[in-house]
Amino acid sequence: MILATVFSVLAFLTVIPVQAQTGIIVPLYSYPVSNATWEPLEMAISTFPDVQFYVIVNPDSGPGPTDTNYQAAVTALHAYANVLLVGYVLTGYGTRPLYEVQQDIETYGGWPAATGLAGIFFDETLAGLTKTYRAYTDAARNVTWPGRTTAYVILNPGEDIGYSDYYAFADQIVTFEDTYARYQNLAPLPLPHPAQQSVIMNSFNGTNETLASLVQCFETSGLASAYITDLDTDIYKSFGSDWTVFVQDVNTEGGSGAYR
């Protein structure tokens, strides 16, 4: 039965064997009301130091006003060597004026160095707007990020964009952000540049064996990062009941400690 599950999962990905580790991308859209809010994340980070975590911080659909409590919680995450932090910025599917995007980027860039922000996560990315998204990316890379020579940039179209020019300037691109059911209904996920691609999946209702098979498949494919949650509402406001098992699976399958 487990073997059948493995083959079922593999049918949904174009597998390209490589020697690489899949990290965990975390849409951290909750507010740290108390230490307990982000505790599942910090516990996972500290327990599995060989797993790379790409954490998207999102105070208010962007940087929002200065919030020292929030920044202190981010600083605590930065204390771990296996964490790369990026700030969330909306792009309105390419309609948001560059100066507004720059303002958000510069606000993040002005956070205390101790928070350790390393770059930007551009949400609501639309395919086919190379000039626009290159300009957004250039804006991020024109800002100084402590401890880095240039910004780490993640784009989020949430769907396949083919052999897009975006891969020439983005570090990672989220090419699937949807439910587990949607994942099952798709043909094999196209992986033109797996080392730069990320999968974010919600409403997972499979078994632990299926979850492990998914992670194994991502690792075999050389996927840059993944996030799987069984939550189907407020999916980024807390951590699902499968969080610990998911992180353990990623650690079991990979674990190099070095981010891409």
Report phi then psi at 99, rounded to 5.
Answer: -65, -35
Residues 144-156: tens digit of each pLDDT: 998 899 999 999 9
Query: Considering only CA atoms, which of 97, 77, 99 is closest in space to residue 87?
Result: 77
Q: Give the pair of three-digit tokens for residue 67.
A: 């919030």
Taken as a whole, the chain contains a residue count of 260
Instruction: Taking residues 130-156, report their average pLDDT.
Output: 97
pLDDT at 254: 76
Please tell me whether residue 190 adopts helix, strand or coil conformation.
coil
Largest CA distance in the chain: 55
Q: What percent of the chain has pLDDT over 90?
A: 87
Instruction: Taking residues 73-92, report their average pLDDT.
Output: 98
pLDDT at 57 over 60: yes
Residues 161-181: tens digit of each pLDDT: 999 999 999 999 999 999 999
Q: Give the pair of three-digit tokens for residue 81.
A: 């060597």
Q: Give the pair of three-digit tokens for residue 40.
A: 């599942």
Please tell me whether residue 5 adopts helix, strand or coil conformation.
helix
pLDDT at 11: 42
CA dist 202 and 43 (Å) reads 21
CA dist 165 and 162 (Å) reads 9
Residues 9-49: tens digit of each pLDDT: 444 444 333 335 999 999 999 999 998 999 999 999 999 99
Q: pTM for the full model?
A: 0.91
Homologous superfamily (CATH) of 2-14+24-253 is Glycosidases (3.20.20.80)
CA dist 223 and 7 (Å) reads 18
- The 8-class DSSP code of residue 169 comes to T
pLDDT at 260 over 70: no
| Average pLDDT over the chain, rounded to an integer | 92
Dump strand ranges (E) for the chain: 23-28, 53-57, 83-90, 117-123, 152-155, 172-179, 197-202, 225-228
Answer yes or no: are the C-beta atoms of 187 and 240 closer than 8 Å: no
CB atoms within 10 A of CB 80: 14
Domain boundaries, the chain: 2-14+24-253
pLDDT at 20: 55
Query: Considering only CA atoms, which of 117, 84, 89 is closest in space to residue 104?
Result: 89
pLDDT at 147: 86
Instruction: Taking residues 217-244, report their average pLDDT.
Output: 97
Q: What percent of the chain has pLDDT over 70?
A: 90
